[in-house]
Amino acid sequence: MENSHLLSPDSIKEKARIIRKKIIEMNSHAGEGHTGADLSETDILSVLYFHVLGVNAERTGDPDRDRFVLSKGHGAGGLYCTLSTAGFFDKSWLDTYLQADSHLPGHPVRQKTPGVEFNTGALGHGLPVAFGLALSAKKQNLTWKTYVLLGDGELAEGSNWEAAMAAAHYKLDNLIVIVDRNTLQLADRTETIMQLEPLSKKWEAFGFEVYYADGNDPEELLKVFQSLPADNGKPKLILARTIKGKGISFIEDKAAWHHRIPVGDEVYAAIKELE
Amino acid sequence: MKKGMRETMVDVMIEEAQAGTNLVVLVSDSTSTSKIKPFQEQFGDKVVNVGIAEQNLVGAAAGMALGGMIPVTANAAPFLLGRSNEQVKNDICYSETNVKLVGLNPGFAYGSLGPTHHSIDDISIMRGFGAISIYAPQDPRETANILRHVLHSEGPVYIRLDSVSVEDLAATAVGFLPGKLTVHRKGEQLVMLALGTSVHNCISAAETLESEGLHVSVVGVSSIRPVDYEQLEQILSAHETVLTVEEHSVHGGLGSLVAELIAERQLGTRLKRSGIDEGTFAPASPADAIRARYRLDADGIVASAKELAGKVKV
């Protein structure tokens, strides 16, 4: 099925700006949140939900929809603000983020939130599940595609590489993996904690076709998604270079903002940068 | 006639696939462990081998369930629940995916291969997770009934499938109902409660005891979650003494479940748990030798029952 928005790159950029504002407001209201991670993925999610993914907020259970798994489950806030903006639920829910029995828990829960496909939060789980989804589509001769967004820090989890090996073995060209390559994880630079580079070579060696994009540029991202060949027997990997905390100057590229929220004057300053 | 539990599982899979059930069997280089070959010969496209990669086995099963299929995983219980513990917890239980996990050759079935291959903690692990049903069939007929039941009902399931070949028991002919305990024999002096196929040794032991004038009840427990607590309470209240028998640690398995009920409902039933002692591994020895050491074979069960009944000095 087709995406119900199919926005132009400029319109997607405007949506991303709105989503970033919501992230700042929601996280500061909740008093907690992974602000850096949410802002890092905003443009990728905007391109997916406003153009690429075959999804429709009115038909969340449609069996023909494309499936999206947020493997970096700590980016739940970014996903919620995107889903809300795309019409999956009322924006008033954002005020309940992290509250008791909220529809919007700290990590995605499919039983709680329309549009959420899978419960993540522990890292290294999304790719094996996405592999299973894509394989089930192949087994049943179904044309929907599976998209999964991985954080770069979680690539140290071995389960990713089990699934990567299997995705190539089963020739899953209906699987599109996106890595949010912001080079920061909870404690420090990814390369300081555990060297990932040469990252594209690793994916190539595992049998993926590797594509590159500025992960904070909706226009470039959209072009890459639209250029992906179908039916060539190879799973796809988009290495999306991003800036953690993208869009707010004092949050950008700082590990400290992985699990931090703007407080006091920071909220005003952040919103001002997004006006 | 004796029949293997795994062979029975595969027969049911063939029957279900022929009937159009949208199942897919996931293995992790465990085609021989699961005896899946006859199924594979007919339905090769319904078998997914992920290689020796249990985390991916379980994560992929969750994904295939979300894609509308009914995945059944089939590999050795220790690797299923040990290596992919977090995938079982999050991807299957917490996410409530429609996956049927079959833990093959649990307990100390792998005997001399040692504790790396033993699974004396699977019931304990699974009872710690929410949302999943836990079954341990007693014989081939119940294996078939449980498998048919779970393939036609939504939700995550763990099946502890013993490695042995055994005969069908008369009492399982009534069919399988989740939660229900199976009463195989009724006696007044003691009740034996057994997990899965351990009930066969209990029945043999009860026959020996009968010939020596000791009348005992034998009850099989194949449904750990759900379990009919009212029926269990009735059984425990009707006896002064209960002996639980399981090829599992006495911690967290059937013995623990029974102890919890006795304590919480103040039933006052005296309890003896036979299993692998708390805080120890079973040794790397042939399974029969382990059974003998921990009094899980018929002779050992007879000896425990006599002690409990006061026929011999403890």
Residue B313 maps to a domain: no
pLDDT bin (cut points 50, 70, 90) of residue B314 is: very low
- Identify whether A221 is part of a domain: yes
- Report pLDDT digits (tens) over A250-262: 999 999 999 999 9
- The position carrying tokens 């992919």 is B84
Q: Do B24 and A139 touch (CB under 8 A)?
A: yes
Q: How many CB atoms lie within 10 A of CB A92?
A: 8
**CATH number of the domain that residue A23 is part of:** 3.40.50.970
Work out the widest C-alpha separation in chain B, in whole angstroms. Answer: 61
Spatial neighbors of A69 by CB under 8 A, at least 6 apart, are A117, A118, A120, A126, A129, A130, A133, A146, A147, A148, A149
Contact of A61 with chain B, judged by CB distance below 8 Å, is answered with no
- Phi then psi dihedrals of residue A54, to 5 deg: -80, 80
Last residue of a domain, one of B124, B143, B166: B166
Tell me how close the Cα of B250 comes to any Cα of chain A, in angstroms: 31
Give the domain CATH number at B149: 3.40.50.970
CA dist B24 to A112, A137, B4, B96, Å? Answer: 28, 12, 21, 18
Is residue B230 packed enough to be buried (19+ CB in 10 Å), middle (13-18) or exposed (0-12)? Answer: exposed
Which of B132, B166, B200 is at the close of a domain?
B166
Do the Cβ atoms of A182 and A152 come closer than 8 Å?
A: yes
- Quick one: pLDDT band at residue A172, thresholds 50, 70, 90? very high
The better pLDDT of the pair B91, B311 is held by B91
Examine the domain organization and report whether B35 and B148 are in the same domain.
yes
Give residue B290's domain range: 177-308
A150 touches B: beta carbon within 8 Å: no
Place B252 in a pLDDT band, splitting at 50, 70 and 90: very high
Q: Are residues B20 and B153 in the same domain?
A: yes
| Rounded Cα–Cα distance for residues A238 and A215 (Å) | 9
Residues B117 and B229 both lie in one domain: no
Place of tokens 């996956």: B99
Percent of chain A whose pLDDT exceeds 70: 100
User: Is B172 domain-assigned?
Assistant: no
Q: Tokens 């009707």 — which residue?
A: B238
Mean pLDDT across the stretch B166-187? Answer: 98
Q: Which DSSP string do the residues of B124-174 spell out, in sequence order?
A: HHHHHSSS-EEE--SSHHHHHHHHHHHHTS-S-EEEEE---EEPPPGGGGG
What is the DSSP code (8-state) at residue B87? I
Optimal mutation site among B52, B64, B87, interface A, most CBs of chain A within 10 A? B64
Angle CA A142–A147–A149, to nearest 5 = 165
Q: Does A141 touch chain B (CB under 8 A)?
A: no
> Per DSSP, which regions of A47-102 are E strands?
67-70
Percent over 90 (pLDDT), chain A: 99
Chain A nearest-CA distance from B72, in A, is 13
Res B271 pLDDT > 70 = yes
**Strand B190-195 to B165-166 pairing:** unpaired
Chain A residues lying within 8 Å of B91, measured CB to CB = 118-119, 125, 128-129
Its pTM surpasses 0.95: yes
How far apart, in Å, are the Cα atoms of B145 and each of B79, B135, B177, B182? 25, 11, 9, 14
B289 touches chain A (CB under 8 A): no
pLDDT tens, position by position, A61-109 = 999 999 999 999 999 999 999 999 999 999 999 999 999 999 999 999 9
pLDDT, mean over chain B: 97
Residue B313 pLDDT > 60: no
CATH number where B264 lies: 3.40.50.920
Task: Give the Cα separation of B308 and B232 in Å (integer).
Answer: 20
pLDDT of residue B310: 84
Using a CB-CB cut-off of 8 Å, the residues of chain B touching A165 are: 51, 53
Residue A173 domain-assigned (yes or no): yes
For residues B108 and B242, state if they share a domain. Answer: no
| B20 in A contact zone (CB under 8 Å) | no
ipTM value of the model? Answer: 0.97
Q: Is residue A2 part of a domain?
A: no
Distance between CA A135 and CA A170 in Å, rounded? Answer: 8
On whether residue A4 sits in a domain, the answer given is no
How close, in Å, is residue A273 to chain B by CA atoms?
38
Are residues B66 and A117, on separate chains, in Cβ contact within 8 Å? Answer: yes
Q: What letter would DSSP give residue B102?
A: E
B145 CA: distance to closest CA in chain A (Å): 26
Measure A208 CA to nearest chain B CA, in Å.
Answer: 17
Query: Which residues of chain B neighbour A133 with C-beta distances below 8 Å?
Result: 63-64, 66-67
In a domain, A1, yes or no: no
* B56, B79, B96: best to mutate for the A interface, most A CBs within 10 A: B56
Question: How many domains does chain B contain in total?
Answer: 2
Domain that holds residue A270: 9-274
Q: Sign of dihedral through CA atoms A59, A60, A64, A67?
A: positive
Count Cβ atoms below 10 Å from residue B85 Cβ, excluding itself.
16
SS3 annotation, A140-169: CCCCCCEEEEEECHHHHCHHHHHHHHHHHH
Task: Give the DSSP H/E element, type plus range, for residue B304.
Answer: helix B298-308
pLDDT class for B22, splitting at 50, 70, 90? Answer: very high
Rounded Cα gap, residues B36 and A238, in angstroms: 37
Split into its structural domains, chain A has a count of: 1
Residue B171 lies in a domain: no
Residue among A118, A165, A169 whose CB faces B95 most closely: A118
B314 occurs within a structural domain: no
Q: How distant is the Cα of B252 from the closest Cα of chain A, in angstroms? A: 25
- Tell if the CB–CB gap between A159 and B64 is shorter than 8 Å: no
CA B46 to chain centre: 25
Closest CA to A80 of A31, A127, A114: A114
Q: Write down which residue in B166, B186, B201 finishes a domain.
A: B166
pLDDT in tens, B31-64: 999 999 999 999 999 999 999 999 999 999 999 9
Same domain, B147 and B183: no
Q: Please answer whether residues B64 and A132 qualify as being in contact, where contact means their C-beta atoms are separated by less than 8 angstroms.
A: yes
- B289 and B232 inside one domain: yes
